[in-house]
Amino acid sequence: MDHSNYVIDQMISAKSIAARVEALAHEIHDAFEGTDKLIVIGLLRGSFIFISDLVRELDLPVEVDFLETSSYGDGMESSREVRILKDLRGEIEGRDILVVEDIVDTGHTLHHVLNLLQSRKPKRMEVCALLDKPSRREVDVKATWVGFEIPDKFVVGYGIDYAQRNRNLDHIGAVRFLDED
């Protein structure tokens, strides 16, 4: 099948995202109020826009770190085998940490990452995911905060890609192929 011919149907507007990010930041603020330092950990690359908007709404002493896991490659299916391509720069033992993910889909990525980070003994670990596709879950894993629950559609924009494209869209849209029959 030729996957080059597709359109993007808007699913979540830039305005809705901004409002939701602000609300999430308030909830995170209340949960971590009084922390001496919150280490916000973005999972690369899909969370880079979300994390940058989120930390700017977050009125807490924050540090930012990044972790990169293996991705889908150029396909749409989860490999289910998660590898760490880039580890954190800093220590998290005894720290408050917030893991920021773009989408929880099958759950394999988050499950693997949370197990790894938990083994380093943070004081408290919570997760904020922009999107959640609960109908796709294969591993029982939950984010503490979810921006939007979405149906089983392949989405792009606001940092999220299809074959590395469309990360720069300011909204989130669903990919629809024109040559499917």
Binding site for ligand IMP (CB under 6 A): 46, 71-72, 78, 101-110, 154-155, 160
Q: Answer yes or no whether residue 46 interacts with Mg ion by CB under 5 A.
A: yes
Active-site residue, selected from the candidate residues 53, 96, 102, 105: 105
Q: Answer yes or no whether residue 173 interacts with Mg ion by CB under 5 A.
A: no
Residue 177 binding: pick among Mg ion, ligand IMP, none (C-beta 5-8 Å cut-off by kind):
none
Q: Which of 16, 41, 26, 15 is nearest to 120 (CA)?
A: 41
Under 8 Å between Cβ of 35 and 61 = yes
Q: Estimate the crossing angle of helix 14-32 against helix 48-57, to 10 degrees.
A: 60
Q: Please identify, using beta-carbon distances, which residue of 67 and 174 lies nearer to Mg ion.
A: 67
Check residue 14 and give left, alpha or beta (phi > 0: left; psi -120 to 50: alpha). alpha
User: Least distance to ligand IMP from the beta carbon of 33, Å?
Assistant: 28
Q: Which residues contact 46 (CB under 8 A, 6 or more apart)?
A: 101, 102, 103, 159, 160, 161, 167
Residue 132 binding: pick among ligand IMP, Mg ion, none (C-beta 5-8 Å cut-off by kind):
none
User: Least distance to ligand IMP from the beta carbon of 61, Å?
Assistant: 27
Residue 154 binding: pick among ligand IMP, Mg ion, none (C-beta 5-8 Å cut-off by kind):
ligand IMP
**Burial, 45: exposed, middle or buried (Cβ in 10 Å; 0-12, 13-18, 19+)?**
middle
User: Least distance to ligand IMP from the beta carbon of 78, Å?
Assistant: 4
Active site residue 105: yes
CA distance 174 to 102: 15
- Contacting positions for Mg ion (CB under 5 A): 46, 102
Point out the residues that are catalytic.
105
